[in-house]
Amino acid sequence: MTATLDHTAPTIERQFPPIRQMAMVTLALVIVGGIYLAAYLPRRAPFGPAVGLVVAADLLLLVNVVVLSRIKPFAWGTFFLVAKWALLAYVVIAGLLEYVFVTDHTRGHMLVLLTLMLATFAVTIPLILGFSVARYADPAPAPTD
């Protein structure tokens, strides 16, 4: 006996809040802020626009985490399984970029702003990856490592 798949059957997709869209806006704000600051290196950049961008990005990231935490039911096991490994990778990437800034003699407020942007970047990407996988997973717990 052979099994056949009915590709004509309608699939029901759950509706989720705009987690990915908010995360992409967060990334856009951080990237614009980073480019803005990097354009001035090695000179001192006006910090007003960069501070505004990083504050807006971090507030949006906080809202995104709160909205994500309220989704019921959700495949949290799958989310954390994917997000923790992605976070490890992006912390390494952000650390390498931080090393480049420090060895390039970036100091003071400029280094603080770039570090905050790197931290936001390193958290946002794993959030996107974890959510993108978990939204299609069964809400049952994921297998452990």
Kindly state whether residue 5 falls inside one of the protein's structural domains: no
In a domain, 26, yes or no: yes
Between the alpha carbon of residue 142 and those of residues 46, 74, 77, 134, the distances in Å are: 47, 11, 5, 10
> Whole domain around residue 29: which residue ranges?
19-134
Residue 14 lies in a domain: no
Phi, psi of 130 (to 5 degrees): -60, -45
Asked whether residue 12 is assigned to any structural domain, the reply reads no
State residue 62's pLDDT score: 97
Rounded-to-integer distance, Cα 53 and Cα 144, Å: 38
**Residue 7 counted as domain residue:** no
- Position 12 confidence tier, pLDDT thresholds 50, 70, 90: low
Number of domains, the chain: 1
pLDDT digits 0-9 by tens, 52-109? 999 999 999 999 999 999 998 889 999 999 999 999 999 999 999 999 989 988 788 8
Number of alpha carbons in the 13 Å side-chain half-sphere of residue 76: 7
Considering the domain boundaries, does residue 141 fall inside one? Answer: no
In the predicted structure, residue 5 carries a pLDDT above the cut 60: no
Closest to 125 measured CA to CA, from 38, 23, 57, 45: 23
**Considering only CA atoms, which of 134, 143, 124, 117 is closest in space to residue 34?**
117
In which band, very low, low, confident or very high, does the pLDDT at 142 lie, cut at 50, 70 and 90?
Answer: low
- Summarize pLDDT for 97-140 with one digit per residue, the tens: 999 989 988 788 888 999 999 999 999 999 999 999 999 888 86
Confidence of residue 4 (pLDDT cuts 50, 70, 90): low
Q: In the prediction, which pLDDT does 21 show?
A: 95
Residue 8 lies in a domain: no
Give the span between the Cα atoms of 78 and 54, in whole angstroms.
29
Q: Is residue 10 in some structural domain?
A: no
